[in-house]
Amino acid sequence: MKKIVPILVFLTGSLLAQQPPGTEILLFDLKQTKNSIQLLNPKNITNRTGYDNQPHFHPEKPLVYFSSADESGRTDIMVYNYETGETKKFTNTSEREYSPTVTPDGKFISCIIQRDNGAQDLGKYPIDGGEPVVIIDNLIVGYHTWITDDALVLFVLGRPNTLRLYSISEKKDLVLAENIGRSLHRIPGTDDISFIDKQGAEWQIKKYNSKNGTIETIAPTLPNREDMAWTHDGKIIMSDGEKLFYWIPGKSKSWVTVEWPANLTLAGITRLAVNPSTKKLAVVASE
């Protein structure tokens, strides 16, 4: 795959119409042992020219939701069934949708809805089809992840970009941290959220404790990398752009290489997603 410029955080203003970079989504079988993570049977599930990105697994079904751009650069949400190999459109709108996420109740797909006027709202579409409901329209939301049906954390674009706790019922937000990365994740088995702190020269993976509001450091990132994923048993997977590595919080002293097929070469690896059973890993790489 040829190298291209890194994937950009969402832009506002006159740059909205630019064509997003060409990326592919590869799906791997993931196998764990006590001292290793191995990736097997890579499959390009998009395999076309253009932007396919931001994979998200359904918590129970064999589905991967992702954002996909047409020739004009407008994105819709697609859904891929990795048991049947079938891909379908989930949305087909004149807006641009990004970051599909199954809501905690399983009834909706929440996503960023990017408007032609520069607004970036957080909305949700019924998972079985229907018109969207706008959740947040007073902030420029870049990324999000859910804590409960009422509470979620947001990456809000600004100078600096901020991590915010948002209450839907109260329609209030609280700034938790500044100068953060785009990767937000609910830590498996908890209501805590991990995020990337980019304030220092060496970036850190940190945890927001949703019960007491404290923030603590979990691990260092790979140098200048902000995309990661969690396995269900608490390992962190990151990429340096060409290879994958893992870290066990509380145990690791350095990042350990993830094994994959010797003849596989990827470039421009960014976003990662692991399914809830930790048997599948989705990897975004340059075309």
Mean pLDDT, the chain, rounded, equals 93
pLDDT band at 18 (very low <50, low <70, confident <90, very high): low
The position carrying tokens 């997977």 is 237
**pLDDT (average), residues 208-217:** 96
DSSP string, 32-97: EETTEEEEEEEEESS-SSS-EEEEEE-SSSSEEEEEEE-TTS-EEEEEEETTTTEEEES---SSEE
Q: Where are the domains of the chain?
A: 13-188+223-286
* Structural tokens at position 182: 């785009």
CATH level 2 (architecture), domain 13-188+223-286: 6 Propeller (2.120)
In angstroms, the CA 121 to CA 134 distance is 7
* Residue 55: other Cβ atoms inside 10 A: 28
In angstroms, the CA 154 to CA 234 distance is 22
CA 205 from centre of chain: 15
Instruction: Tell me what pLDDT residue 109 has.
Output: 98
217's enclosing H/E stretch is: strand 215-220
Q: Specify whether the CB–CB gap between 245 and 256 falls below 8 A.
A: yes
Is the whole model's pTM more than 0.85, yes or no? yes
Burial of 208 (0-12, 13-18, 19+ CB in 10 A): buried
**pLDDT (average), residues 189-206:** 97
In angstroms, the CA 136 to CA 112 distance is 10
Sheet-wide strand order for 228-230 = 228-230, 236-239, 244-247, 256-257
pLDDT band at 14 (very low <50, low <70, confident <90, very high): very low
Instruction: Tell me what pLDDT residue 118 has.
Output: 84
Whether 282 shows a pLDDT value over 60: the answer reads: yes
Burial of 201 (0-12, 13-18, 19+ CB in 10 A): exposed
Query: What percentage of the chain exceeds 90 in pLDDT?
Result: 90
* Residue 260: other Cβ atoms inside 10 A: 18
pLDDT one-digit tens code per residue, 59-91 = 999 999 999 999 999 999 999 999 999 999 999
* Prior bond of 160 cis (ω within 30°): yes
Q: What are phi and psi of 17, to 5 degrees?
A: -80, -5
pLDDT one-digit tens code per residue, 246-267 = 999 999 999 999 999 999 999 9
